[in-house]
Amino acid sequence: MTVQHSGGGQADRTLALLWRNHSPAPATDQPVPDPQASDAQASDPRSRRARGGRGRPPSAAVGGEAGAKRVRGRRPTLTVDAVIEQALALADERGLPAASMGGVAKALGVGTMTLYTYVPSKEELLDLMVDQVLLERELPGPGDPRPADWREQVELYSDQTRAMFRRHPWLAHVSTIRPPVGPGMLAGREYLLSAMVALGLPPARANLAALAVTTYIDSAAGQEAESDLVEHQTGQSNDAWWHDRGDLWETYFDVDRYPTMTAVWNAEEGGMAYGGSIREVSADSYQFGLAHLLDGIRSTV
C-alpha cells in the first residue's frame, strides 16, 4: 500500500479545522515554542517562531461549524466531527483507501461536493483523522493525576500509543514527517516533554530526550501495526511466512560468510538465543530497547 503523508493541506485552512473546537489563543508577548524547532531556532530572537504572535480566528470559508459557507435559513446537515467519525470507521474497517472523499460522502448519504463544504480536501481530512486518533490516547494533561515515576509516565505513553496503532492499523501507512499540528499532536508532545522536565533535565536536553522517546515508541508501534495488518491481509502469520522459507538455512546460508549469526544460533540449543515466535521476539526487543533508552536518558541528569 502506498504511504500517505500528513501535513499536505493548505496551512491556514488546516489549522482552522484542527482547532475548530478551540478559541483562538489570546495575544501574548511571550515566545511561542515550535515543538519541531531546533535549539538554535527556538533561541534565535530573530526567528518568527521565537517572537510569538497573536492568535488568529479560523478562516470563515472552512469546515462546517468552523465557518463553512451556508445558505441563509438552512441548517447544516453535517458536522466536521461526523465526517471524521465516518472516515475513521471506514479506514478501521476497510483500510485507508476506503476513507476517500467519495467513500465518506457515500457512507454519509450526501454528495461529494456537499462533503467539500465541511472538509475541503483529502489532505485536510487525513490530518483531521490522524489528530483525532492521537487525541484518543488517555494522557494526563497539566494538573491531572499521573504516575509519580517518570519512567512510568513514559510507559503510559508507550502503552497508549501502541494501543492506538492496534485500534487503527492504517496509521502505519501514514507518514507524519509533517504532522497534523492539532490538539492530539500537541497533547502527546506536552505530556512527554513534561515527563523529561520532571526528571530534572535542562530544557534543551529535555526536548531532545522527548523527541528520542517519541521517535522510538511511535516507530516501533507503527511497525507492530503494519505487521498485524500484513497478517490480516494475507491470512498468513509471520511465523508461517518464515517457515515457508526454511530452505534458506539448509540450502543457501553460508556459515563462513555469516559467522556471528551462526555463533548466536549455536549458543543455545535449538537456536533459542534468537527467542521464540516473531511476536515474542518483537515484544522482547521493544522492551529491551525502551528500557536502555530510558537508562541512557537517566544517566545524563
CB 282 within 8 A of CB 230: no
Domain boundary among 119, 135, 151: 135
Domain boundary among 107, 135, 163: 135
71 lies in some domain: yes
Per residue in 72-84, pLDDT (tens digit) is 555 567 999 999 9
How distant, in Å, are the alpha carbons of 63, 108, 127, 139 from that of 118?
4, 13, 14, 29
Domain with 114 in it: 1-20+58-135
Would the pTM count as exceeding 0.85?
no
Q: Model confidence at 139, in pLDDT bands (50, 70, 90)?
A: very high
pLDDT of residue 47: 41
Query: Do 274 and 143 lie in a common domain?
Result: yes
- At 160, which CATH number? 1.10.357.10
Q: Model confidence at 259, in pLDDT bands (50, 70, 90)?
A: very high
Provide the mean pLDDT of the chain: 86
Query: Do 115 and 160 lie in a common domain?
Result: no
Per residue in 85-109, pLDDT (tens digit) is 999 999 999 999 999 999 999 999 9
Per residue in 176-231, pLDDT (tens digit) is 999 999 999 999 999 999 999 999 999 999 999 999 999 999 999 999 999 998 99
Domain boundary among 91, 112, 135: 135
Query: Do 176 and 263 lie in a common domain?
Result: yes
Q: With pLDDT > 90 as the criterion, what percentage of the chain qualifies?
A: 73
CA distance 184 to 132: 6
What's the domain count of the chain?
2
38 lies in some domain: no
First to last CA, the chain: 43
Q: Give the three cell numbers for residue 99.
A: 476513507
29 lies in some domain: no
271 lies in some domain: yes
Residue 186, C-beta contacts closer than 8 angstroms, at least 6 positions apart = 35
- Of the candidates 186, 185, 220, 190, which has an alpha carbon nearest to the alpha carbon of residue 207? 190
- At 80, which CATH number? 1.10.10.60
CB 50 within 8 A of CB 43: yes
205 lies in some domain: yes
Per residue in 262-290, pLDDT (tens digit) is 998 888 766 667 778 889 999 999 999 99
Q: Which residue has the cell 494533561?
A: 141
CB 112 within 8 A of CB 101: yes
